[in-house]
């Protein structure tokens, strides 16, 4: 899907937090995630996944010298079962918890190979706004199961094959058993 940068930016305005407003107290954010944007974000997933209804609930507040972000993504997505390939609905509710610190001035001008490991592990925000779009995308990507299934014990494509124990049936009853199996189909 083609999704140009400018359009993405406009879409993501609703996921931008203005740091200045946090001085008045914690910010409650309740947003429905634009599905067109999210579909494009999920294209790098190992299997096809289509978001149907995804909401984000966050509390954002100043804490010490940084900004604390807590909340959850509530997502309903469709994909196909890894075993029987039938359409499968996924309901995910991953939690979000992040602490961001203002990027130190001296970090802005140097390139990556001069940044120490400790600095790399800290999440920074730069400027007056924080955009939580990548946080939402990463949280959702991590919550996706490796092999989505329609049910825990999906019988797979060959659900009509007789279970193993039925093959040792009394030969005299075989015609009846076959008749039963046909009726079940
Ligand atoms: Zn299945």
Instruction: Give residue-wise pLDDT tens across range 150-168.
Output: 998 998 876 555 555 545 5
Interval between CA 148 and ligand 1 midpoint (Å): 8
Report how far ligand 1's centroid is from the alpha carbon of 1 (Å): 28
Lowest mean pLDDT among 90-94, 99-103, 148-152: 99-103
Q: How far is the CA of 87 from the centre of ligand 1 (A)?
A: 8
183 and 131 fall within a common domain: no
Do residues 165 and 145 share a domain? no
Domain that holds residue 131: 5-154
The predicted model gives 4-24 an average pLDDT of 81
Least confident of 5-19, 31-45, 88-102: 5-19
The verdict on 87 and 134 lying in the same domain is yes
d(CA 41, CA 142): 13
Q: What is the distance in A from the centroid of ligand 1 to the CA of 86?
A: 6
Cα 127 from Cα 139, distance rounded (Å):
23
Looking at residue 152, its pLDDT comes to: 87
**Ligand 1 mean position, distance from CA 127 (Å):** 47
What is the domain count for the chain?
2
Contacts of 53 (CB under 8 A, 6+ apart): 32, 75, 76
Per-residue tokens: 84: 């029987």
- Region of 128 (left: φ > 0; alpha: ψ -120 to 50; beta: rest) is alpha
Mean pLDDT of 91-113: 79
Whole-number Å distance, alpha carbon 89 to ligand 1 midpoint, is 11
Q: Are residues 176 and 94 part of one domain?
A: no
Distance between start and end Cα atoms, the chain = 41
Whether 137 and 163 share a structural domain: no
Q: CA 113 → CA 20, 33, 69, 107, distances in Å?
A: 32, 35, 28, 11
């Amino acid at each position: 899907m083609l999704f140009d940068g400018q359009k993405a930016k406009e879409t993501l305005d609703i996921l931008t937090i203005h740091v200045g407003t946090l001085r008045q107290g914690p910010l409650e954010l309740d947003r429905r995630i634009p599905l067109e944007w999210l579909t494009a974000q999920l294209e790098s997933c190992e299997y096809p996944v289509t978001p149907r209804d995804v909401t984000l609930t966050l509390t954002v507040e100043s804490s010490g010298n940084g900004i604390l972000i807590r909340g959850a993504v509530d997502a309903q997505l469709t994909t196909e079962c890894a075993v029987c390939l039938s359409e499968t609905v996924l309901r995910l509710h991953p939690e979000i918890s992040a602490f961001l610190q203002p990027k130190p001035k001296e970090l802005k001008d140097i390139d990556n190979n001069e940044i120490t490991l400790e600095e790399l592990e800290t999440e920074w925000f730069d400027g007056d706004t924080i955009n939580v779009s990548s946080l939402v995308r990463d949280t959702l990507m991590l919550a996706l199961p490796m092999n989505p299934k329609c049910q825990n014990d999906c019988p797979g494509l060959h659900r009509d094959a007789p279970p193993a124990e039925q093959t040792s049936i009394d030969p005299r009853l075989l015609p009846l058993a076959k008749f039963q199996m046909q009726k079940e189909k």
